[in-house]
Chain A
């Protein structure tokens, strides 16, 4: 690890960068935490339909009147609104959408991502921790593209992008792309490959904070053009 300070993108900028890669007309499921920010940064003119696992498509932003309905909430159990064209459904239908390949993009948080796309995001494995999994394993199993948005390292400075996950798995070989404050990185058959650096961040900065070899940016454009 280097002691030099590297800042890169803010959380909002990370979320905005994810939003750039979400195609027009996509059905998208956002996980709890940083992924929720993505909804605020959809580029103008692009229509994204948000799915929330607790039984709704066409989810809108939090209510602005400070009121809302305690029975109209998102997966993070925060109040949201319904947009024109919204629909409600029960949990088995909601996960049929997820597991059945009907959702185009899932944006999840992570504890660790391995170079082969394995994801660990539900358990720190610490003694006394209460295990809780929610819908992450179903999302990994069934959504067409899984994007991870996360800090590049843990609070203790350990890389979250690793050779092999040491924490309990959520899914195997499921992650397509990782967005951190330092870079956008693709999971490829060869391992982690740089897609884009945050301003002021060098390839070496990212490699030093990554627990597996980082491949240089490909000659071919890898940004997913919507």
Chain B
């Protein structure tokens, strides 16, 4: 017989709203694997990244499509020397030398992954699928060391799923149960990273009461999200870069 308890065994199901970005990322530990949402500046959680720089965690493994631009946001995290390894599809940016300099100096390891393979590895990680086969990169240098298998006469590479300790994501609106909606192409990796991380932390412009987001419109259901935090007026990376900002 189940006895009712005054304290829920599942507090995570209840309030997910964090009062500040500092509290939202306080427990990111040294050596953590951290997924960072965004494609270019669209969806890059700049305020969470800047707070992570202030917080001081180091030896991080970052999983992200790009490595940031200028010297703000993700690029600033690299510049601060906090990243040991990055798993990434496109680490070059026209307006940033931060990652290229670190890479050439041998100070940051790079695992280069085709973009669709990166997305599917993350999705698989969140879906309980340890590995899958893809036709992308067959016969290329990125196939080296990977198991190949033929299905219906065509070769495929086995790729392993990716999971993370934390995911830092930018949404537009959340409710207090963690349901998320996004803004246009800023959605990109957010929904799949939320699935693949033990602790998905989402910064949004506005947190509303449960019921205010139409259930039919929810993109990331709250079950995938541990914390939401309001950043009412998030900075745009391109504005900061144009203004010559270097964080901190």
Contacts and interface: CB of A to CB of B under 8 A. Distances in A.
A96 B119 CA distance: 10
A72 interface: yes
Contacts, number: 149
Interface stretch (B4-12, B25-33, B73-81, B133-141): B133-141
Interface in A75-132: 77, 82, 88-92, 94-95, 98-99, 123, 128, 130-132
B141 A169 contact: yes
A135 interface: yes
Given A54-B188, A70-B238, A132-B91, A138 B40 contact: no
A99 B236 CA distance: 32
A77 B104 contact: no
B115 A133 contact: yes
Interface string B114-157: 11111110110000000000111111111000000000000000
Contacts of B184: 56, 69, 71-72, 82, 88
Interface residues of A, number: 40
Nearest to A86: B184
A168 to B, nearest CB: 5
A77 B138 contact: no
B190 A90 contact: yes
B42 interface: yes
Contacts of A135: 89, 114-116
B119 A133 contact: no
* Size range of the chain B interface in the assembly: 35 or more
A91 B192 contact: yes
A54 B39 contact: yes
Contacts of B142: 133, 137
Given A71-B183, A134-B115, A138-B117, A55 B140 contact: no
Contact of A99 (B116, B123, B239): B116
A56 B185 CA distance: 7
A215 interface: no
A187 to B, nearest CB: 16
Interface of A: 52-56, 69-73, 77, 82, 88-92, 94-95, 98-99, 123, 128, 130-138, 140-142, 168-172
Given A130-B104, A138-B136, 4 more contacts: A77-B40, A92-B122, A131-B112, A132-B112
